[in-house]
Structure formats: structure tokens, C-alpha cells
Amino acid sequence: MFTCNNIYLLSFTYYLKYILIFNIIIIPLIYLYINFVKIIKKKIKINKSYLKTKIKPLYYVITIVVLSLILHNMLNNSHNICYINATPNIYQEYRKSFYFLEGKDIDKELKNNYLENILTNKSNSTLSKLVYKEVNIIIENDNEEETQEANEKKEEVIEDNFLHETDTNIQNSVYVIDGVFYYPTYIYGNNNTYSGMFCPSNPEAEGFNNSYGYNNYFYTRLQRFIDDARQNGYTITMSTQGCRRYSTQSYYYSTMDSGRAAAPGHSLHGFGIASDLEFYQSDGSVCPYYRNDANCPSMGWAHSNAYKYGLAFPLLNASYKEDWHVEPINKNKY
């Protein structure tokens, strides 16, 4: 029976668990430090009056520790799913999945079983595929209106397995399903929907296939794109800022001209699915800022061939033209 299908219940249990652990371990250490280490360091003279002032707080410390220990053991021994499995990794994965699925019109039992598997740390790829298949269908139905030009480009995309990626494991708040990159819809006041909030501190140690923090599949497309450019005699490099943190985007937004940078929380750079490319001339020098596809051949090749790799340059005709900004063609909000 599913007993923890509410994010608020799990959050309460998660923080309760760590408050109890803090009471059991940290409070006694703080008391010992204040009352013994300081005595030794400051060479305080111990007498009956001094000890009397220190005994009363000790009763409070012992009471807090004992009560916390009793409650901790009760919850553990009662096999409470929320309490036992409320570890940082499980809690973060459950929270992200809960908000991702919240409001989606899918079978309630299927959704609860999926969340229960996360909570109990069980792996079930079949169940995951069923959940995200339903979500994918819903999202696709919500995005039926596409421009004719976009449809034509999608039809031209080279049929290749690397454009049909599927990975329901979240990276920088992004899911990839059947080659479509799904990222959160910005909701004011909900930090979980802001880009740049979940950038990895050590990408390769956290399951990324690159050291920059790009989404794995976006990086694979980008690297293949750059490698093929080189084989055709063109030099292009990607930005080493694979996942742009919220604080960095805030700095750009506040220091650059109005309209020049996306508002904090909105940039695809913060989801690891956008990059700023650098284009080079045949002599190895960087193409000048004032350039076009003709006088910067590497950029011309990039703009003409990006669609073959599932990539696009959407800001070529923006009010502030960015001929270097690249992102996936196939992306949607959830």
C-alpha cells in the first residue's frame, strides 16, 4: 500500500529526520565544546559555583537527545517508508518527479506506483516508460500548432539513432523523450522551474558525459556537429559554460543592455541545452564580430547544416542578433 504519495508529507518527514539527527549528534557536541573545550583553552578555574551553572543546561541537552533518539527509533522500527527512505538523493529525485507529473492527466495508480518506486529506491524501466509515454502524448497534443517551416526542417533531419534519444533521468531539470528535450515552464515563485538552479558542481561525477554540465544528449549532438565541421575543414568550438547558473544569468541580465540577455530563470543555458559557439577562419583566427556566412565560412557551414544534427540557431533574426547561439530544434516545455 502506498503510504507517502504527498510531497508535503515527504518534505515534513525529510526535515524531521535531519532535525532529529541534529539533536542526537550535533547538540551534544556543541555542549561539550562550550563546556569542556573552552575550559581547557581558556584555562577557566573550575569550582562548585561554575559547575552548578553548567549542570542545568546539561539536563536540557540530555532531555532533547533522549526524546529525539526515542522518536527516531520509533519511526525506524515502525518501517515508515517516508522516514526510512528520506535520504537526500531519493528526496530530490522524488520532489523533481512529483512536480514534473503534477497536473498531468495520467492514470493516478500508474503515477503513484512510479513515485513509490522512487521512494523505495526500486528500479522499473517498464513503468518509467509507461509514465513518460503518457506524459509525452499529452505534451505533444498540447503543442500541435507548429509552423510549416519547422515541420519541413524536422522532415529533413537525417535519420540517425542519435536523434531519437530517450532518457527519463533528469539532468538540469530536463527530460529527453524520443529525441525531444522537455524543460520546465517558468512559474514565478517556484524555484524548481527556474533555469540555472540545478547545475552540477562536478558533472562527470554526477553522471554527465562532459565536464561542462551540458545535458548528455545535447552535448552528443553538439560534439558530433563540431567533429563533422572539422572533417569538412571548419573549426568551431563550444562554450565551456555548459550549465549557466542562475546567479550568472542574473549578472548578465543586470549589466547588459535591455533585451540583450534572457531574464534570470528563463535561459536555456541554465538547463544545459544551449551553447554559444566560436567560429574560426582557415588561418586559425577567430571570425570578427561583424561577420556573415560568406566572410566566415565556418559559421556559414554551421548555419546551413545544424538541422542535420537536430540543432538550430533561433536568434539569427532577433532584435539582438546572436549568430553564435545554438540549441535543440525539438524542445518543449512541461
Domain CATH for 154: 3.30.1380.10
Candidate ranges 3-12, 23-32, 164-173, 214-223; pick with highest mean pLDDT: 214-223
Residues 125, 257, single domain; the answer is no
Residues 182, 271, single domain; the answer is yes
Tally of CB atoms within 10 A around 78: 10
* Among the listed residues 16, 4, 33, the one whose alpha carbon sits nearest the alpha carbon of residue 67: 16
Q: What is the pLDDT of residues 288-303, one digit of tens each?
A: 988 999 999 999 999 9
Q: Which residues contact 187 (CB under 8 A, 6 or more apart)?
A: 193
Nine cell digits for residue 118: 522512487
Distance between CA atoms of 51 and 34, rounded to whole angstroms? 13
Contact 191, 199 (CB under 8 A): no
pLDDT for the residue numbered 84: 75
Nine cell digits for residue 53: 551553572
Per-residue pLDDT averaged across 222-228, rounded? 96
Residues 216, 115, single domain; the answer is no
pLDDT for the residue numbered 7: 76
pLDDT at 283 over 60: yes
Q: What is the pLDDT of residues 230-265, one digit of tens each?
A: 999 999 999 999 999 999 999 999 998 887 889 999
- Residue 100 in domain: yes
- Please say which residue of 74, 108, 142 terminates a domain: 142
pLDDT for the residue numbered 90: 78
pLDDT for the residue numbered 48: 61
* Sign of the C-alpha dihedral computed for residues 322, 327, 329 and 333 taken in this order: negative
Residues 71, 112, single domain; the answer is no
pTM of the model: 0.56
Residues 130, 246, single domain; the answer is no
Q: What is the pLDDT of residues 4-22, one digit of tens each?
A: 667 777 788 888 888 988 8
pLDDT for the residue numbered 276: 97
The residues facing 327 across adjacent strands are 312
Containing structural domain, residue 136: 92-142
Distance between CA atoms of 207 and 199, rounded to whole angstroms? 12
- Please say which residue of 84, 116, 131 terminates a domain: 84
Helix H segments across 257-324?
297-305
Distance between CA atoms of 305 and 321, rounded to whole angstroms? 19
Residues 253, 157, single domain; the answer is yes
Nine cell digits for residue 86: 528520506
Distance between CA atoms of 141 and 202, rounded to whole angstroms? 37
- Residue 162 in domain: yes
pLDDT at 1 over 90: no
pLDDT at 44 over 90: no
pLDDT for the residue numbered 39: 61
Distance between CA atoms of 92 and 95, rounded to whole angstroms? 5
Per-residue pLDDT averaged across 270-291, rounded? 95
Residues 122, 216, single domain; the answer is no
pLDDT for the residue numbered 169: 75
Torsion of CA 319, 323, 326, 330, to 10 degrees: 60
Per-residue pLDDT averaged across 94-100, rounded? 76
CA neighbours closer than 13 Å in the CB half-sphere of residue 128: 15
Residues 160, 280, single domain; the answer is yes
Q: What is the pLDDT of residues 176-186, one digit of tens each?
A: 988 899 999 99
Q: Which residue reads 581547557 in cell numbers? A: 40
Tell me what the pLDDT averaged over the chain comes to.
81
The radius of gyration of the chain from alpha carbons, rounded to an integer in Å, stands at 27
Distance between CA atoms of 282 and 290, rounded to whole angstroms? 17
pLDDT for the residue numbered 147: 46
* Among the listed residues 167, 257, 267, 261, the one whose alpha carbon sits nearest the alpha carbon of residue 215: 167
* Sign of the C-alpha dihedral computed for residues 170, 272, 205 and 177 taken in this order: positive
Distance between CA atoms of 14 and 87, rounded to whole angstroms? 7
pLDDT at 156 over 60: no
Domain total in the chain: 3
pLDDT for the residue numbered 40: 61
Distance between CA atoms of 324 and 331, rounded to whole angstroms? 19
Contact 198, 183 (CB under 8 A): no
- Please say which residue of 84, 102, 132 terminates a domain: 84
- Residue 2 in domain: no
Contact 136, 142 (CB under 8 A): no
pLDDT for the residue numbered 245: 95
Q: Say what percent of the chain tops pLDDT 90.
A: 39
Residues 252, 315, single domain; the answer is yes
Per-residue pLDDT averaged across 320-332, rounded? 93
pLDDT band at 59 (very low <50, low <70, confident <90, very high): confident
pLDDT for the residue numbered 186: 92
Distance from CA of residue 148 to its chain's centroid? 32
pLDDT for the residue numbered 130: 59
- Residue 229 in domain: yes
Residues 153, 21, single domain; the answer is no
Q: Please give the residue that has the higher pLDDT: either 192 or 164.
A: 192
Residues 175, 55, single domain; the answer is no
Residues 130, 260, single domain; the answer is no
- Residue 1 in domain: no
pLDDT band at 78 (very low <50, low <70, confident <90, very high): low
